[in-house]
Amino acid sequence: MPRWGMVIDLDKCVGCQACSVACKEENNVPHGSPEEQQWKREIYWHKVIAATNGRYPQVSTQVIPMPCMHCDHAPCVTVCPARATYRREDGIVIQNYRRCLGCKYCMVACPYGARSFNYKEQEEEEYHHPDLPPDRSVWGPWPYPTRTHGVVEKCTFCFHRIDKGLKEGKKIGKDVVPACVEACPANARAFGDLDDTGSEVARLLSTRRPIRLREELDTKCKVYYLLK
Amino acid sequence: MSLNFTTIEGKSRGYNTLLAILIVLSVAGFVSFMVSYIEGHQLLGSNNLIPWGMPIVVAIYLIGLSAGSLILSSLTYVFGKEEYRPISRVAVFLAIVLIFGAMVGIGLDLGRPEKTWRLFMFFMLNNMRSMFAINTILYGGYFVIGLVYLGSIFAGRSKMTKMMGMIAIGWAALVHMGTGAIFGFVAARPIFYSPLKPFEFLAAAMVSGLALLMIAIVVVFKYTKREYDQKIIFSLSRLLFALIVGLVVIVLIDKLTHVYPPDREATIWLFTGPYAWVFWGLQVGCAYLVPLVLLTHPRYSKSLKGVLAAAILVVIGIFGERFALVIPGTAYPLPFYPGKIEGIWGATGTFPITFVETLMSLGIFTLMGLFFILGLKYMELLPVTETKEENPRPA
């Protein structure tokens, strides 16, 4: 069984946020309004933060793209009372909207702020979807379950792409990658099987010393960063 | 000592007015809940950084009051302190009403409350590693135990009452420690994360439950013109003093461990930030310092008014303590990466008090008030008065 993971090279990342936009398109994440963003009610599956250290003129700002970290020891999975969020066999932590009762305990427990709550009934947007034929009647509903207000949602590592790719016998990490990896113009991201020594992510992890965010919490997350 | 209990008549004008006001406010609360259920939680104050809002504050506050009240009722039935017998029935009934209100509060904060049944599918559909799921057993069992306890009191079966009382004490302590564990075991939020949280919750429960019980005794007995021995209140006030001291010690240790590194920024922000007035004013001032002064003051500690004022301050202050835990506890941004995080991801959260949420929270209290005064009318909770001039008007 593979263990999907992601490696983000911070040296290559320019903070263009193409990954965030691609994620919103791919997964039909509601785009929200400026007011909602100000009130922190906009839904983000992927965010790009900037951390500043030092004072002018000796200052550096590090841009860090943050999807869900898909922890092996995920605090959200531990605290979810309804098994709405669970870890799949392949390591992807996923949210089942039909089971979620909206207690928001997972949002309190997540150390990465990866989870968002649906504060209102969201509109269904028709995004450009390069994977799918243009006529929606051919492929039916969206590849992800539809959401209602009152449930929590998060990044899925584009599991629908991975599942489809595996079924078609494609190579995950090369032919099929999550939308954010595909969209990155600087090739800063790599996706693949962390346990497979031949994969691109394994090669990158061996080249430079990788870090994970908030490692002190021992979440054993599967998104690695390569520092500058 | 045999003591007869009776109902109140509940026909006076004051009673009916109070009943009408409580019904109107409860209906308003229910309507605002339905509006928020249809429109979504955009009408409430919570957001992605502060996921838990006012209903959770109210819920854990009420669980505390309930557990404290039930533990104190056992003074009569388990430890045989006969002087508390006149109030013991009210205490058990109050505990049941309060835990019901707490359950309503938790339900109001759920995004999809219609799926609550999933929580009760123990070991099948729910995740028993979650503190929340474990607490479902505790809360449900507590409700049942409370009802059986009250039933055995009414049936006059003293042996069973004593047994149920003992179970109820242990279970009530578990309920509140479990509630503390919901917060205390979350490593991601520095203000929550502490092994002391269950004990802090238990101590706060005893303090607030006792204070509420003292207020309830004085008010109910006064407005229904019943005689009672004021010595009860003064002996309870000494107990209250001891419990507050215990709570202060636990909170002091808890906060001190948090201001020592690591992750001290959130706690320092609580002490100095926009919610400092809740912490220093309500929690420290209103719940701890002023009551402690009042209860040791040579004159006020001997007067009913002084003791009652201390009890009222404690009940208000413990609400502040709950608020200072739930809202600022999550409002500080998470430290994703060393350094100052720019933009909205590094901004502290704000929690606006909205109309719908306030009405909902108020509705929980009025619903409980409604059940309480109906209970006084239809159940034999109060001791019979010696003076037979009946003009009942409870609070």
**Quick one: three-class SS letters along chain A?**
CCCEEEEEECCCCCCCCHHHHHHHHHHCCCCCCHHHHHCCCCCCCCEEEEEEEEECCEEEEEEEEECCCCCCCCHHHHHCCCCCEEECCCCCEEECCCCCCCCCHHHHHCCCCCCEECCCCCCCCCCCCCCCCCCHHHHCCCCCCCCCCCCEECCCCCHHHHHHHHHCCCCECCCECCHHHHHCCCCCEEEEECCCCCCHHHHHHHHCCEECCCHHHCCCCCEEEECC
Closest-approach residue (CA) in chain B for A53:
B339
Name the band, by pLDDT with cuts 50, 70 and 90, for residue B72. Answer: confident
pLDDT in tens, B12-54: 888 899 999 999 999 999 999 999 999 999 999 999 999 999 9
SS (HEC) of B258-288: HHCCCCCHHHHHHHHCCCHHHHHHHHHHHHH
Distance from CA of B71 to the nearest CA of A (A): 28
Residue A127 lies in a domain: no
pLDDT in tens, A55-72: 989 999 999 999 999 999
Q: Quick check: A151 and B335 CB within 8 A?
A: no
pLDDT value for B120: 87
Residue A210 lies in a domain: yes
Name the band, by pLDDT with cuts 50, 70 and 90, for residue A141. Answer: low
Whether residue B262 is preceded by a cis peptide bond, meaning omega within 30 degrees of 0, is yes
- The total number of structural domains that make up chain B: 1
Set of chain B residues whose Cβ sits within 8 Å of the Cβ of A78? 127, 129-130
Collapse the DSSP code of B348 into the 3-class scheme (helix H, G, I; strand E, B; otherwise coil) and give the result: coil
Q: What CATH number does the domain containing A13 carry?
A: 3.30.70.20
Residue numbers of the domain that contains A88: 4-122+137-226
Closest-approach residue (CA) in chain A for B188:
A111
Residue A82 lies in a domain: yes
Name the band, by pLDDT with cuts 50, 70 and 90, for residue B392. Answer: very low
| Token output for A173 | 């990490």
Rounded average pLDDT over A111-133? 79
Asked if the model's pLDDT at residue B394 lies above 50, the reply is: no
pLDDT value for A127: 63
The mean pLDDT of chain B is: 88
CA distances from B53 to A105, B43, B108, B347, B361 (A): 12, 11, 10, 18, 10
Residue numbers of the domain that contains B148: 46-351
Task: Identify which of B112, B333, B342 has the shortest CB distance to residue A150.
Answer: B112
Q: Model-level pTM?
A: 0.90
| Token output for B24 | 């109107």
Set of chain A residues whose Cβ sits within 8 Å of the Cβ of B192? 108
pLDDT in tens, B315-330: 999 999 999 999 999 9
Residue A214 lies in a domain: yes
Closest-approach residue (CA) in chain A for B120:
A82
Distance from CA of B114 to the nearest CA of A (A): 8
Name the band, by pLDDT with cuts 50, 70 and 90, for residue B63. Answer: very high
Closest-approach residue (CA) in chain A for B45:
A39
Asked if the model's pLDDT at residue B354 lies above 90, the reply is: yes
Asked if the model's pLDDT at residue B275 lies above 70, the reply is: yes
Task: Identify which of B42, B110, B335 has the shortest CB distance to residue A101.
Answer: B110
Name the band, by pLDDT with cuts 50, 70 and 90, for residue B262. Answer: confident
Do the beta carbons of residue B85 and residue B72 sit within 8 Å? no
Collapse the DSSP code of B6 into the 3-class scheme (helix H, G, I; strand E, B; otherwise coil) and give the result: strand
Provide the terminal-to-terminal Cα distance of chain B, rounded to the nearest Å: 28
Other C-beta atoms closer than 10 Å to the C-beta of B214 total: 26
CA distance B372 to B324: 28
Residue B65 lies in a domain: yes
Asked if the model's pLDDT at residue B338 lies above 70, the reply is: yes
Q: What CATH number does the domain containing B135 carry?
A: 1.20.1630.10
Residue B21 lies in a domain: no
Closest-approach residue (CA) in chain B for A42:
B48
Residue A130 lies in a domain: no
Residue B323 lies in a domain: yes
Provide the terminal-to-terminal Cα distance of chain A, rounded to the nearest Å: 32
Task: Identify which of A116, A120, A148 has the shortest CB distance to residue B48.
Answer: A116
- The total number of structural domains that make up chain A: 1
> Which value, to the nearest 10 degrees, does the dihedral of the CA atoms of residues A23, A24, A27, A32 take?
150
Task: Identify which of A52, A75, A104 has the shortest CB distance to residue B52.
Answer: A104
Set of chain A residues whose Cβ sits within 8 Å of the Cβ of B342? 49-52, 61
Q: Quick check: A119 and B125 CB within 8 A?
A: no
Q: Quick check: A83 and B127 CB within 8 A?
A: yes
Which of A152, A190, A161 is CA-nearest to residue A90?
A: A161
Any residues with CB less than 8 A from the CB of B178 and at least 6 apart, and which? B131, B134, B135, B138, B198
Distance from CA of A190 to the nearest CA of B (A): 21
Write the ipTM: 0.89
Task: Identify which of A49, A105, A116 has the shortest CB distance to residue B132.
Answer: A105
Do the beta carbons of residue B362 and residue B70 sit within 8 Å? no
pLDDT value for A103: 93
DSSP state of B341: E
